[in-house]
Each structure stands twice: as C-alpha cells, then as structure tokens.
Amino acid sequence: MKVLICETAEKAVARAAELVIAQVRKKPDAVLGLATGGTMLPLYRKLCEACRQGAVSFAQSTTFNLDEYVGLAPDHPGSYHSYMREIFFDQTDIDLGRTHLPRGDCADPASECQRYEALIAASGGIDLQLLGIGQNGHIGFNEPTSSLGSRTRIKTLSHSTRLANAGHFGVIDAMPRHALTMGIGTILDARQCILLATGQSKAAAVASMIEGPVSAGCPASALQLHPAMTAVLDAEAASDLT
C-alpha cells in the first residue's frame, strides 16, 4: 500500500483529486467506483471545478457507487442517488445514463445485488475505486465482521454508522437500518484504489487499516492485499501510525 501523508486536509483532498483527474485524462472512458460521505464533499468540489475549467471531462466516464440505503427511492433527499446528483453529476458533463448506484427501493435486494455485480463486470470492471473509511474501519458499508471475499449484498448498518450518518435524516430513528453495498471482494477487484481519510476521528481506523492484521474486524485492512492501493491522509488521520 502506498501511503501519502499531507500536512492539511485541503492538501490531501487536492492530491486525491489529482489522482482521479490523472486517471480520467489517461483513459477518458474510465470506469470509476465512487464513494459518498462528508470526506468526499471537498473532493467532488475540486473535480467539479476542474471540469468547469476544462481541465478534465467526465463525458465518457462510467461510474458505479459503492452503496445505497435500503428503502430509499432515488429522489429521497437522504439517498446517495440524491447526494451524487447534487454534489457531482449535475455539476459536470457526465452522462447520467452511464452513472450507476444500487436501487435501495428495489423489490428484491438479492437480485438487485446480482444485477449490480453483473453490470460492473459487463462494463469491464472498475479502473479506479474511490473510498472513504468509517471510524469502525468500514469501507463501503462493509461493517466489521464482513467477509473479506464478500460481493454486493445487503448489510445491516452498525449503531455507530447510523449515529455518524443520522444528521442527514434529522433523528436516528429516521435513518435506514440496512444498505446495499459492494462487497470487499468487489472492491478488491478494482484495478486501482484510492482511499481518502481526513481528521482525527479517522486516526485509529487508519492505523488498523495500514498497520493492523488483515482481519474482518477492520474491513479496510483487506486493502493491504490490493496491489495498487493508495491511502491519501492528512496529518490528523495519520497521527496514530507508528
């Protein structure tokens, strides 16, 4: 694993954005795996800005998001479909027809997960997977104890993950209890992974990911096995590394 430690969160975000832009410039029809969450907001801002300035075009890119909450229709304000449209898709030249997220409002989650895996395979696989990390070491919504070989499936969200994300739903009771998420095996199939982590609250999870044993107790530790994985950290997120 390559580890890039930047002085500030702003510099870490700029570095991660450069890596994404370099990939899309090299291969304009790249297949991108996308993440959501607070850490990604400034990164998407940078990508939108670069697109507006003509420094990169996403017109030929295909995207697959990591996850979506079960039970939420794409137009629900708390859905990741809404997040992606508002924060990234609607502000770039991306072709919405090439953007994909699992459907949280599907009637049959098991077949939706199979459909999603098949669609990723039919697109030629993911060239670059963008990742954040949960305070409990999750990637996507692969919570601790997830199988390291898992594929896209339905997962129960941990209490800490529901607490961390409840803000978007007003009260924790309104927050979904399940998500459809790419599995750890799905993520490891990507040709390149970039994980962005900023802030002190991620320091313990980052240390387990990089220096801990490869274990389902810290799902992100599976990334130690990936041959082209880069962790982009700010000084706070790196502060528990030895």
Q: In the complex, which residues of this chain contact ligand F6R (CB under 6 A)?
A: 35-39, 66-67, 132-134, 138-140
Of 78, 74, 73, the C-alpha closest to 168 is 78
Annotated active-site residue 143? The verdict is yes
Half-sphere exposure at residue 131, Cβ-oriented, CA atoms within 13 angstroms? 35
136 is catalytic: yes
Fill in the DSSP letter of residue 37: S
**Would you say 113 and 154 are in contact if contact means Cβ atoms under 8 Å apart?**
yes
For residue 45, the minimal CB distance to ligand F6R (Å) is 14
165 is catalytic: no
In the structure encoding, which two tokens stand for residue 29, read together?
């029809």
- Of 81, 112, 138, 236, catalytic: 138
Question: DSSP H helical segments within the chain, as ranges?
Answer: 9-26, 40-52, 80-87, 109-122, 159-165, 184-188, 203-211
For residue 73, give both structure tokens.
Answer: 């229709």
Can you give the length of the chain in residues? 242
Minimum separation from the CB atom of position 66 to ligand F6R (A): 4
Nearer to ligand F6R among residue 109 and residue 219 (C-beta): 219
Residue of 143, 189, 234, 236 marked active site = 143
Nearer to ligand F6R, 140 or 183 (CB): 140
Query: Does 68 participate in catalysis according to the annotation?
Result: no
Question: What would the two tokens of residue 74 be?
Answer: 């794409």
Question: What order of strands is seen across the sheet that includes strand 178-181?
Answer: 67-69, 178-181, 153-156
Q: Which of 65, 81, 136, 165 is catalytic?
A: 136
Least Cβ distance, residue 39 to ligand F6R (angstroms): 3
For ligand F6R, the closer of residues 57 and 158 by Cβ is 158
CB of 140 to ligand F6R, least distance (A): 5
User: Cβ-closest residue to ligand F6R?
Assistant: 132
Residue 52 or 156 with smaller CB distance to ligand F6R: 156
- Residues acting as catalytic residues: 67, 136, 138, 143
